[in-house]
Amino acid sequence: MPEKKHLKRYLKRLRVRYGLEKPVKLAFTEDISMTGLFISTPDVVKPGSVIVAEIYLSDNIKILIKGCVMWAKRLPPGVAGETKKEGMGIKIVKFLSDGESVWKKYIESCADLQKAGECNAAGSQDMHDTLNMPTG
């Protein structure tokens, strides 16, 4: 697990749909890295399970992944949302279609924004510019 400490995580709230067979449950990320993400949700999946997830980088850009649930935490009612994280840590196992290059560019843009002191400043137009994709 030493390599985990060297991975940079970025605080990003991205819409994500996930599920065991197909992405049907809606949630949001809390942080992301090159190799994984934290999905904030009370509807967790058992650790060791493989999920399919659609991650929406903007309104028009999404990637599809297969991920392994590394850990999951469900909080009792009344405690959720206070200071403790509820959700699951996902390790990206496989990018479906051409999502890997798009994800890599997105993570690199997060690093560039953080260096510039604009950590969470990227909006959807910024994302289109970063990925050189049309907005329509």
Alpha helical stretches, state H, 24-98: none
pTM, rounded to two decimals: 0.78
Please give the chain's pLDDT, 136 residues, in tens: 445 545 688 999 999 999 999 999 999 999 999 999 999 999 999 999 999 999 999 989 999 999 999 999 988 776 655 556 899 999 999 999 889 999 999 999 988 887 776 554 333 334 444 454 444 4
Write down all domains in the chain, each with its CATH number in brackets.
2-131 (2.40.10.220)
Distance CA 60, CA 136 (A): 8
